[in-house]
Amino acid sequence: MVECSAVTSPCPSESALMAFVSGSSPDRAPIEAHLVECERCRVAVAGLVSRTTAPTRSEGRLVRGAQVGRYVVLDLVGQGAMGQVYAAYDPVLDRKVAIKLLHPLAEGAEAQERLLREAKSLARVGHPNLVGVHDAGAFRDSVFIAMEFVEGQTLRAWLQPRTRSQAEVLDAFLQAGRGLAAAHAAGLVHRDFKPENVLVGRDGRVRVSDFGLARDVAEPARPAELAPLLEPEKLPTATGAFVGTPAYMAPEQLAGQRADARADQFSFAVALYEGLAGQRPFARNSADLVKAGARPVGSAVLGQALLRALAAEPSQRFPSLDALMTALKPAPRKRWPVPVTAAAVLLAVGLGVSLHRSEALCGSGPARVEAVWPESRKRSLAAHFAGLGGSPLFESARRGLDAYGVGWAAMHREACEATRVKGEQSDQLLTARMACLDRRLVEVEGVLGVLATTDATTLARASDAVNALTPLSVCANANALLAPTPRAEQPQVVERVSRIEQELARAQALNEAGRFKEGVPIATTAALEAHAIGWAPLEAEALLTLGALTQGAGELTSAEPMLRDSWARALVARADRTAVIAAVNLSFLLEELGRMKEAQEWSWQAATLRDRVGDDFDLEARVANQEGHLLSTNGDYRGAETRYRRAWELRKTHQGEAHPKTVLMWANVGMSAGGQGHYEEAVQVLRGVAV
């Protein structure tokens, strides 16, 4: 609601003023009468008129079927001064999403930066009580973010019937508080918490949204954001708008001081007070009125907690939002069945708090996996493979994907807890690990796309793509993760990189499934686009994929320059893992061409560079296996067996004895034993492989 000077009629809400400006208000007369006597509302309406009638909005709403990035527009579900929100379909992940699209240049570059900041803020914090962000990018002369689509309503609308019990209202706000606290733990401040920026899903789960005003606590405030907002001349004008909503702002924020987590705590308390009492605690949140205090609401415990959170001085509020929520609803006392020591009590309490905090901050991994590999997709693929007579093959693939998903969720939690809970890992490394894990899910999506297009001729190798998924352990290798060239952050580049990564994942899966001719054009396009962007690690990966597909198709002389270029680009980018794989592939290719001296040199290059990568069992196994090949080709079967056994031991230890790659290494051991004349041993080994 807009803050008004002394007038005879109450000020309309922001939504009512927006409806008035847009012409959709059912009864304009009361608002028109109010505007005659209220200068503040006139100024606010002037700002809304300026923004909603700007000539840059001439394109209007998007029609059904229009594309924003890879997303297909379904319906317009909401709009405001900054932009529009559409329901859309994501054809890659087969799900419904919400697309928030900023009006083209409605508020200039600053508004676009604010929207991208919203995407980055939410993407950094995975929590069930925060709206999930999937993607962000450029669209025409604007930007968009793709978010979780929440079937439900705003907290404001949910509170409207005024029939909610105190317990229901408190529970909804405690859920929102947990999401906001998770953002604070990640170093983010919302700065515009209010009921309109909280969503209540049909499932009852509450999610905080609209972090467009959020800012990392380490980011310095800008002068434009520090202008005091209490005087009429400092309210929104036809050429600018304040940051945040005054009705919920803390006094220090209104006075132009830096807003921190305690300002969010004040806004949270104002909204909760309003939810319980039906009105906000203060006519306006100026320091003098806030210091005078508010009338307590609810129980004695609840009322005291709210009054402390509504203190005019930030230092007098709770030290954190977690502390406020504990005070709002203290945990019930537990009756211990037997006497215990004070130390044991403290240990139990500490463990409980730690587990709760860990779950709140780091428990979103299983949901991320479920979004990519849901039960509906399993059923669909099972039916597809059954129609091809390949149910056993699909069951093998399903078990592999299920295990990969469990491992992914476990590593996601471990990476998050290492920074957010235990404080043992830097934010930089956490960001790198999360980006690595995101790429692994992109790989899974690529594999699923290949499985869905399997036919009778490609059925036999369909599950090979699952077995070839990049080991999750690469996302724990700090040495390798912190070495590559940083990705660009421009929205246009980020969107293109994301699209290329998705295409590469598909091409890589096609390569592992033996569908080389299908994969070559996809990898070719990806390599050209990666070169156009100029991001060396992605170009090196695209060239490696194209070279592997070309090599698989039997065009060895054409594949050689692609693999050489991949190796060179990877060295420039310090993408050492890609460089090692390119060198191993080159060694194998040159061996097939009979150029043994060159094959030996590239094997040596791979082994030397592998040491720089650090702990990576997959790379070490690849190098050892290729060394075994070269020794075997030269007739040194004893030496070959040693290297094959090393590759087998690595695979067995890290991927299990039954993993297809482990079995293949064991078969190589058997072949090298046979080459030495140890026929009984060879037969025994190969029989074990057959079983």
Q: Which two tokens stand for residue 601?
A: 């040199």
Tell me whether residue 173 is exposed, middle or buried, using C-beta atoms within 10 angstroms of its C-beta: 0 to 12, 13 to 18, 19 or more: buried
CA–CA dist 556, 563 (Å, integer): 10
Distance, CA of 622 to CA of 638 (rounded, Å): 19
DSSP string, 428-454: HHHHHHHHHHHHHHHHHHHHHHHHHT-
- Are 271 and 249 spatial neighbours (Cβ–Cβ below 8 Å)? no
Residues 6+ apart with CB under 8 A from 191: 213, 214, 215, 243, 244, 253, 259, 263, 264
Q: Which residues contact 660 (CB under 8 A, 6 or more apart)?
A: 464, 467
Residue 91: Cβ-neighbour burial (10 angstroms; 0-12, 13-18, 19+): exposed
**Distances in whole angstroms, Cα of residue 606 to Cα of each of 40, 269, 546:** 70, 60, 19
Q: 125 and 420 in contact (C-beta within 8 Å)? A: no
Q: How far apart are the first and last CA of the chain?
A: 73
Own/partner pairs, 215-220, CB within 8 angstroms, 24+ separation: 215/117, 215/188, 215/189, 215/191, 216/121, 216/187, 216/188, 217/187, 217/188, 217/189, 217/260, 217/261, 218/187
What phi-psi label fits residue 341: left (phi over 0), alpha (psi between -120 and 50 degrees) or beta?
beta
For this structure, is 192 an active site residue?
yes
- Of the candidates 453, 632, 459, 436, which has an alpha carbon nearest to the alpha carbon of residue 537? 436
Quote the DSSP letter at residue 237.
B
- Maximum separation of any 2 CA atoms in the chain, in Å: 104
Q: Are 25 and 62 in contact (CB under 8 A)?
A: no
> H helices of 23-165, where?
29-37, 39-52, 108-123, 155-159
Among 90, 135, 192, 576, the active-site one is 192
Helix, strand or coil, per DSSP, at residue 320: coil
Amino acid identity of residue 144, one-letter, is F
Q: Which residues are known to be catalytic?
A: 192
